[in-house]
């Protein structure tokens, strides 16, 4: 079994399926058959996005890692967040998270990292481009995955290989996300 997929855990899978079913959500599309990649999960505008992501992770048995602000990792839930693949990030410290993530890809032949380019649930004027620089530095593709609240689905889209033309690549990536409606559309960034 690939290290990107966890051993069967009927309780976690049941929990994930139950959460998605109760919320009326489904998963469409398939992840690529690759050992290493970054999933862009967008648009991140609500705490409910995290609930859907964890349910998605459980259903697909993904051994995916994700960044979260350090306050999520405090007692009593810190251990659970780490168990679910979380990596605490302190935004108040000058740390090169891009290089740390690139190094993690170098150290692990099988590695999935899920990132939200907004970096917050609030309105943003632009996406943080760390996901792009990590992908370029690690030589891995981006998998575009959208939360579509209008149709209640997690949509797994295409695999995208960054070309090095950041502006053109970002326009193409944002074009993919344009049709998907987040929980709070007024917070979503769709480009210029």
Task: Note the pLDDT tens digit of each residue in 92-150.
Answer: 555 677 888 888 889 888 989 988 887 565 676 778 888 999 999 999 999 999 999 99
Q: What are phi and psi of 112, to 5 degrees?
A: -120, 130
Residue 33 to residues 57, 87, 112, 136, Cα–Cα distance (Å):
16, 24, 12, 19
Residue ranges with strand state E in the chain: 26-28, 36-42, 64-69, 86-89, 111-115, 142-148, 153-160
Residue 82 has a pLDDT of 77
Residues 145, 103, 71: CA angle, nearest 5 degrees: 65
**How do residues 58-92 score in pLDDT, each as one tens digit?**
899 888 887 767 677 688 888 777 777 777 766 65
CB 88 within 8 A of CB 73: yes
Average pLDDT of the chain, as a whole number: 86
Whether 3 has a pLDDT exceeding 70, the answer reads no
With cut-offs at 50, 70 and 90, classify the pLDDT of residue 2: low
d(CA 185, CA 135): 27
Residue 52 has a pLDDT of 93
**Which of 43, 65, 39, 35 is CA-nearest to residue 143?**
39
Q: What is the pTM of this model?
A: 0.85
Q: Name all domains of the chain by residue range, CATH numbers in brackets.
A: 10-184 (3.40.1130.10)
């Amino acid at each position: 079994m690939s290290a990107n997929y966890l051993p069967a855990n009927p309780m976690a899978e049941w929990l994930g399926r139950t959460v998605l079913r109760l919320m009326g959500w489904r998963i469409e599309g398939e992840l690529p058959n690759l050992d290493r990649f970054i999933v862009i999960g967008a648009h991140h505008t609500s705490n409910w996005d995290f609930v859907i992501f964890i349910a998605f992770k459980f259903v697909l048995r993904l051994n995916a890692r994700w960044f979260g602000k350090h306050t999520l990792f405090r007692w009593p839930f810190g251990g659970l967040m780490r168990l679910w693949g979380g990596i605490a990030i302190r935004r108040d410290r000058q740390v090169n998270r891009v290089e740390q993530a690139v190094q993690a890809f170098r150290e692990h032949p099988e590695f999935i990292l899920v990132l939200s380019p907004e970096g917050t649930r609030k309105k943003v004027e632009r996406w943080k481009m760390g996901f792009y620089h990590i992908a370029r530095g690690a030589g891995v593709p981006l998998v575009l995955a959208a939360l579509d609240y209008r149709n209640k689905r997690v949509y797994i889209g295409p695999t995208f290989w960054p070309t090095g033309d950041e502006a053109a690549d970002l326009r193409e990536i944002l074009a993919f996300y344009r049709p998907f409606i987040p929980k709070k559309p007024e917070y979503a960034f769709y480009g210029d």
